[in-house]
Structure 1
Amino acid sequence: MRSPTMVGMPTWTIEQEPVTGPEIGDVMWQYFGEMAERVMGRSAVEAELRQALERDPHRDLAPPGGAFLVARDGTGAFLGCVGVRLLPEVPGAAELKRMFVRPAGRGTGLGRGLLVAAEAAARELGATRMVCETNTQLTEARALYAAHAYEEIPPYEGHGRADHWFAKSLVEDGTAG
């Protein structure tokens, strides 16, 4: 998926890549580190980051039941990522995971681009509904979901400090599911 070309705005591409790629480990550390600072209000120590990855691993963000999408700028530098995984315990549902935009990609529409690409990947996996979880402190994520027809739902599972859960229908009529 190629971003629209706008004056003064960087261009980026979003492509599926292996979740085990060489730089993904570093990106996951950055992701969890930023989440710790935003949600807990302090830096996480290495043991906490390892524990978070163990509690909620990302190996399943790969075929056949998942996808991992990476956004890169025109030079190939990593700007952001998002993962999708099918939830076998919830027929037809896919879960949005690991949406992360590095500071260099923020404010460019990349979050929206990653969300749209993740929804397309979920449809390709056969999902009819996307679910996700987030935290009160992640105001940008909550605003993005609300702007794209996600509706708050009761908790469907827990991975740490989530306190908001969302769902969106991926079928043509666009109603939440």
Structure 2
Amino acid sequence: MSLRVVPGTPEAARPLLQASHALMQSLFPAEANHYLSLDALRAPGIHFFLAQSEPNAPVGCVALAHYPGYGEVKSMFVAETARGTGIGAALLDAVETRARDLGLPLLRLETGSKLHAAHRLYDRAGFRPCPPFGAYTDGPYNPFFEKHLA
């Protein structure tokens, strides 16, 4: 599969984001779902990326939310038919590259407790468990991870 990760828009990833939201809603209670709406993904300080296969069909997406002192990985999703092909790692690499370009010393993320494949991906990429950050609170459904970039 020919793959490229490029800056994109949430609109171009609408089917992926809808599939991601549906999956999260099927696995976790509403209070444990912290995904961003399409409007929120268009806000200033959000950097959005698409993984595209030939012929330019989006097969994955991710966002970097830029906060003072760190970046947060948001809306990471890979189409079920494209999982296991390295797309997740390529998306994380794009986010990390942008975070470094922005001078951010740290990447953080919140994910779902049942998303074991995602946990393995984050571990392989150098993310380690951390306490809740920002407005998040501790709970049984949402582990937190971080990666120091400095």
TM-score of the aligned structures, taking structure 2 as reference length: 0.84
Matched, 1:163 2:138: no
Q: Root-mean-square deviation (CA), in Å?
A: 2.5
Matched, 1:65 2:45: yes
Structure 2 counterparts to residues 29-44 of structure 1, below 5 A: 29-39=18-28
* Structure 2 CA distance for partners of 1:35 and 1:69, relative to 1, 3 Å: same
**SS of 1:14 mapped into structure 2:** strand
- Residues 36 and 75 in structure 2, CA contact (< 8 A), matched pair in contact too: no
* Structure 2 CA distance for partners of 1:110 and 1:148, relative to 1, 3 Å: same
> 2:73 and 2:41 mapped to 1: Cα distance?
10
Matched, 1:24 2:3: no
Corresponding residue pairs, total: 146
Runs of 4 or more consecutive aligned structure 1 residues displaced over 6 Å after TM superposition: none
Which structure has more RCO (C-alpha within 8 Å, separation ≥ 6)? Answer: 2
Q: Deviations over 1:33-66 (max 9, x none)?
A: 12223446xxxxxxx7xxx68x743545457512
TM-score of the aligned structures, taking structure 1 as reference length: 0.72
> 2:109 and 2:86 mapped to 1: Cα distance?
19
> 2:141 and 2:101 mapped to 1: Cα distance?
27
- Residues 81 and 99 in structure 1, CA contact (< 8 A), matched pair in contact too: yes
> 1:137 and 1:113 mapped to 2: Cα distance?
22
- Residues 16 and 59 in structure 2, CA contact (< 8 A), matched pair in contact too: no
- Residues 70 and 78 in structure 1, CA contact (< 8 A), matched pair in contact too: yes
Gaps of 5+ in 1: 1-9, 41-47, 172-177
- Residues 135 and 161 in structure 1, CA contact (< 8 A), matched pair in contact too: no
Q: Corresponding residue for 1:127?
A: 104
- Which has the higher mean CA deviation after the structures are superposed, 143-152 or 161-170? 161-170
* Structure 2 CA distance for partners of 1:109 and 1:24, relative to 1, 3 Å: closer
Structure 2 counterparts to residues 1-177 of structure 1, below 5 A: 10-19=1-10, 21=11, 23-39=12-28, 56-62=36-42, 64-87=44-67, 91-156=68-133, 157-158=135-136, 162-171=141-150
User: Letter of the aligned partner of 2:84 in structure 1?
Assistant: G
* Structure 2 CA distance for partners of 1:125 and 1:63, relative to 1, 3 Å: farther
C-alpha deviation, 1:147, in angstroms: 1.2
* Structure 2 CA distance for partners of 1:122 and 1:162, relative to 1, 3 Å: farther
C-alpha deviation, 1:25, in angstroms: 2.9
Identity of aligned residues (%): 29
Higher share in strand = 2
